[in-house]
Amino acid sequence: MSGHGDGKDAGRQVSWIESAASHFVVVLAVAFALYPVLWVIALAFSGTSTPEARVLPIPREPTFDHLWAVVSTTREVGESTQWLFGRQLANSLIVSISTALVGIGIAIPAAYALARFDFVGKERGLRVLLATQMFPAVAAAIPLYLMLDALGLLNSRTGLVLCYATTAVPFAIFQLRAAFESIPVDLEEAAMVDGATRLQAFVKVVLPAARPAIAVTALFAFMSAYNEFILAATLLGKEDMFTLPVVLQRFIGEYDAQWEAFAAGALIVSLPVMVLFYVLQRNLVAGLTAGGVKG
Amino acid sequence: MVAVTVSQVTKRFGATEVLKGIDIQVPDGHFAVLVGPSGCGKSTLLRCLAGLEEVTSGSLTFGERDVTSLQPRDRDVAMVFQSYALYPHLSVRENLAFGLKLRKTDAATIKARVDEVAEMLGLGPLLGRLPKALSGGQRQRVAMGRAIVRRPALFLFDEPLSNLDAALRAQVRVDIRKLHDQLGATSVYVTHDQVEAMTLADVMFVLNGGVVEQSGRPLEVYEAPASRFVAGFLGSPAMNFIAATTVAEPGGEGLRARLGDGSVTIALPPRDGLGAGRSVDVGVRPHDLELCAQGEGDIELTVDFVELLGPEIHAHGVLAGTKVVACIETSAGAGIGIGAVIPLKIRRLHLFDRESGRTLR
């Protein structure tokens, strides 16, 4: 957005007018992007019961009650009390991480094969993969429900991971194929001449070189699973198996909307994603620009 | 250190035959250069030697070992790539140590060898850097170091200087030759640059269209090209070729060549089996055209363009309807300008059969 940190501006004195102007633009853009988020934050910490339209998103009668109420939900299981929210958070994280791992685990070898080898049916296979991307996963909700029912995987994390990974794999393959294609073949060949087997060359040279792209692809898979609602709501019927989007939706009932609880829940749900983005930010930038510049 | 023998090697990519029965012998410890224009098959041949391409037929032998079907890692070769192919996620030290680690060399030996090579190539201060923090010349040296550190039996170079600027290229060329003399390992070097080929090679193989047109010591090949192609490929500026027909010397023995549009004839030195009425190409290197006194020249060139290069000038003109360049010492040709008609003596000429392109000796 601004010229700062951009290599081409290095060594040039930036005048204070330029600096102020670029900061102003950045602040404006950030404010524009964050305004709705600030509203959610204000709502989550407000003590009043109904949201009202105001210009400044400042909480009325600030309180942590809503956050605490969302986090501390429990349920009775026989004699003992179970921390329900903890279990639901765990459901979301386990399902999303597993989706990312399974998706990436399948997509990496597939994408590498598509990037490096010629084989019968390659082009046709790619077209079929592309075709699967034209339909939303929801379109398959009913068949998936019936299949998982037959397999006894309804109301299970495994079932959900299977469904999510299925939809994550084609996109991951396309993403990673482009990343592998941008890595010069010379690198693998150099490794093989240096004494590596093809597998060693792949593991020791190609995978590290593709790490940013793999991180981004994994993050996309994680995010799509973490945010998914419709399949989760369809395939999960028991409260203790819910993922967080399903939990959130429960705050908005047919006759009663708990907006503060919803906002508090939304904030909590966002935290893991924010942490993940923060940790992966370096890879994200490199991964999103991968392929633009040949190595 | 091994001798390299390539026997009747062919390589096909689908319907395209890139190598058409190559025979090459590189004696132990020699520096061989494969030279030729783009698409002549030189890089493919090098990749076959490295094991990165399988040969379609024929055999490759390193010393006593038939390596034709061996994997690259089992051939005991090291290769310097045109792109350098440095591992981007590894530091210079790790790049150098990569091959040794894969071969389970102990850490102390790896460190000693890496340090030795770093010292040899002046890489010491760069060992902690990533490849992206290096200049082109430094990357090239790291690529060389990665090859040297393994102490392979055979070095392979795939146009390793083509990404460097002209000044650096000349310097690294000298360094490569010095390193070869120091290490004594057999080397095979691919280039399309005839200057590199001439200056580096102990033995040179000129490839064209998937066959070896000529091989030998660089000067031998330069002085006595076996074909019009080789003659035209080696030497800068390129050899002048003028289409000609042989005619009998009027009133005497011997032959003359009627050049181009027939306006000029020159005397021909005797050639085996060459008679009158034959279509030939006369080849004269620009440096074999010597400025002489008026009336003593074999030909006269009407100059239409002059390039000043410092120690010499390149006088361009048309002779018997064909474009010709003459290289003349600046001191001798100081007054030559556009429109001048200069008498030139032909110190040496080459004769090629028009149809086959082979040299007539």
C-beta atoms of B85 and A195 within 8 A:
no
* Minimal C-alpha gap between A98 and chain B (Å): 27
A50 confidence band (pLDDT: 50, 70, 90): low
**Nearest residue in chain B measured CA to CA from A191:** B99
Whether A184 contacts chain B with CB within 8 A: yes
A236 strand-pairing partners: none
Superfamily the domain A82-288 falls into: MetI-like (1.10.3720.10)
Q: What is the pLDDT of residues A84-117, one digit of tens each?
A: 999 999 999 999 999 999 999 999 999 999 999 9
Mutation test of the interface with chain B: which of A194, A197, A214, choosing the one with the most B Cβ atoms within 10 A? Answer: A194
The mean pLDDT value for A192-200 works out to 95
* Minimal C-alpha gap between B72 and chain A (Å): 5
Ranges A126-130, B89-93, B203-207: which has the least confidence: A126-130
CATH architecture of B240-353: Beta Barrel (2.40)
Query: Residue B71: its chain A contacts at CB < 8 A?
Result: 192, 197
User: Residue B333: what pLDDT?
Assistant: 79
Query: Residue B98: its chain A contacts at CB < 8 A?
Result: 191, 194, 204
pLDDT exceeds 50 at position A127: yes
Which among A187, A194, A295 has CB closest to B99? Answer: A194
Tell me the pairing of strands B154-158 and B186-191.
Answer: parallel
C-beta atoms of B102 and A192 within 8 A:
no
If phi > 0 it is left, if psi is from -120 to 50 it is alpha, else beta; for residue A152 that is: left
Query: Residue B156: its chain A contacts at CB < 8 A?
Result: 193
Mutation test of the interface with chain A: which of B83, B113, B188, choosing the one with the most A Cβ atoms within 10 A? Answer: B83
pLDDT exceeds 70 at position A5: no
Whether B103 contacts chain A with CB within 8 A: yes
User: What ipTM score was computed for the predicted complex, to two decimals?
Assistant: 0.87
Rounded Cα distance, B190 and B306, in Å: 34
Which among A187, A192, A193 has CB closest to B87? Answer: A187
Name the more confident of B190 and A41: B190
C-beta atoms of B146 and A187 within 8 A:
no
pLDDT exceeds 70 at position A265: yes
Tell me the pairing of strands B4-13 and B16-26.
Answer: antiparallel
Distances (CA, A) of A28 to A21, A25, A32, A35, B178: 11, 5, 6, 10, 62
Name the more confident of A45 and A286: A45
Whether B275 contacts chain A with CB within 8 A: no
C-beta atoms of B87 and A295 within 8 A:
no
Q: What is the pLDDT of residues B226-250, one digit of tens each?
A: 999 999 999 989 999 999 999 988 8
Which among A200, A208, A295 has CB closest to B102? Answer: A200
* DSSP-assigned states of every residue in B59-117: EEEETTEE-TT--GGGTTEEEE-TT----TTS-HHHHHHHHHHHTT--HHHHHHHHHHH
If phi > 0 it is left, if psi is from -120 to 50 it is alpha, else beta; for residue B280 that is: beta
Structure-token match 């170091």, residue found: B145
Structure-token match 């490295």, residue found: B50
Q: Across A41-50, B97-106, B161-170, B331-340, which has the greatest mean pLDDT?
A: B97-106
Domain ranges of chain A: 7-63, 82-288
Ranges A181-185, B12-16, B101-105, B262-266: which has the least confidence: B262-266
Query: Residue A211: its chain B contacts at CB < 8 A?
Result: 89
Q: What is the pLDDT of residues B50-76, one digit of tens each?
A: 999 999 999 999 999 999 999 999 999
**Nearest residue in chain B measured CA to CA from A295:** B88
* Minimal C-alpha gap between A61 and chain B (Å): 53
pLDDT exceeds 90 at position B312: yes
Whether A190 contacts chain B with CB within 8 A: yes
User: Residue A3: what pLDDT?
Assistant: 42
Whether B76 contacts chain A with CB within 8 A: no
pLDDT exceeds 80 at position A235: yes
pLDDT exceeds 50 at position B325: yes
A189 confidence band (pLDDT: 50, 70, 90): very high
User: Residue A77: what pLDDT?
Assistant: 84
Q: What are phi and psi of A70, to 5 degrees?
A: -70, -45
Percent of chain A's residues with pLDDT above 90: 54
**Nearest residue in chain A measured CA to CA from B74:** A195
Positions of CATH 2.40.50.100 in chain B: 240-353
Overall residue count recorded for chain B in this entry: 361
Positions of CATH 3.40.50.300 in chain B: 4-233
Q: What is the pLDDT of residues A201-219, one digit of tens each?
A: 999 999 999 988 999 899 9
Percent of chain B's residues with pLDDT above 70: 100
C-beta atoms of A192 and B73 within 8 A:
yes
C-beta atoms of B73 and A196 within 8 A:
yes
Q: Which two tokens stand for residue B151?
A: 């102490």
The CATH class for the domain spanning B4-233 reads alpha beta
pTM: 0.84
Q: Which two tokens stand for residue B209?
A: 């269209």
Whether B133 contacts chain A with CB within 8 A: no
Which among B52, B83, B99 has CB closest to A184? Answer: B83
* Minimal C-alpha gap between A281 and chain B (Å): 18
The Cβ of residue A76 has, within 10 Å, a number of other Cβ atoms equal to: 9
The Cβ of residue A117 has, within 10 Å, a number of other Cβ atoms equal to: 8
C-beta atoms of B150 and A194 within 8 A:
yes
